[in-house]
Amino acid sequence: MSSDKSDTLELLIEFKKEIYKLGLEKTPSKTLYQEKYTRGAAPSPTTLLNRTGKTWKEILELIGIKDFKRVKVRDTSNMGRPEKVYDVEKNVVRQQLEEFFKVNRNVKTQKEFKELLKQDKNMPSFGKIYNYGYSWGYIKKNILKIGEEDKKTKMLEEVVSFLTKEKYDVESINQSDLGKILKKQNNLPSIATLYHNKVTLKDIKDMMYK
């Protein structure tokens, strides 16, 4: 059995244990599970969907749960959901968006975003995302920057790792020197790329000597 398949199997086993521990085997809705599961110990709905590539119903069938009751919710102004349920679902969508933009960091326009959503069967539709209050403007301002920060950190770590490994005396290096060093390394970002992503020489020195 491959490592990926083995990991997914273990994930499903942990999920099944958690479902029964929470007493959700008769009403195992994604919303209820998201609200009650043990964070840090049991797998999250987003992790399960991403790792298996299946729908929630298909995941339940994989662990032997086929006949279950759907939880009905009363109609409210929050898209027909009780406020608490709506908030939980909104948080789930937020988590999905954050994970999505960690992978798709170069999305610049709403059109690109919509096209990528259509290709990702684990993501909700643009309309559903919008209905939870996540407009493209909000996403650009509050969620895309998470991916940008991750990208900045990754670049910084790559450069610091290289300079440390090659035993450069960073204290004596100026920006021009750094540019020449990076230019010779095809697998590292250029000085222009670092500048564009707001990675400074000071950031590099701070990380090396912290």
Q: What is the pLDDT of residues 68-119, one digit of tens each?
A: 655 444 443 455 555 566 677 888 888 888 888 877 877 888 899 999 998 8
What pLDDT does 75 receive?
A: 41
* pTM of the predicted protein model: 0.39
The answer to whether the beta carbons of residues 89 and 135 sit under 8 Å apart is: no
What pLDDT does 77 receive?
A: 43
d(CA 52, CA 63): 12
* Structure token pair of residue 23: 């007493």
What pLDDT does 83 receive?
A: 58
* Structure token pair of residue 29: 């809705």
Q: Per-residue DSSP letters for 171-197?
A: GG--HHHHHHHHHT-TTS--HHHHHHT
The SS3 of residue 30 is helix
User: For the chain, where are the E strands, in sequence order?
Assistant: none
pLDDT tens by residue, 125-168: 888 888 888 888 888 888 876 555 556 777 788 888 888 888 88
Find how far residue 83's CA is from the centre of its chain. Answer: 25
Find how far residue 41's CA is from the centre of its chain. Answer: 18
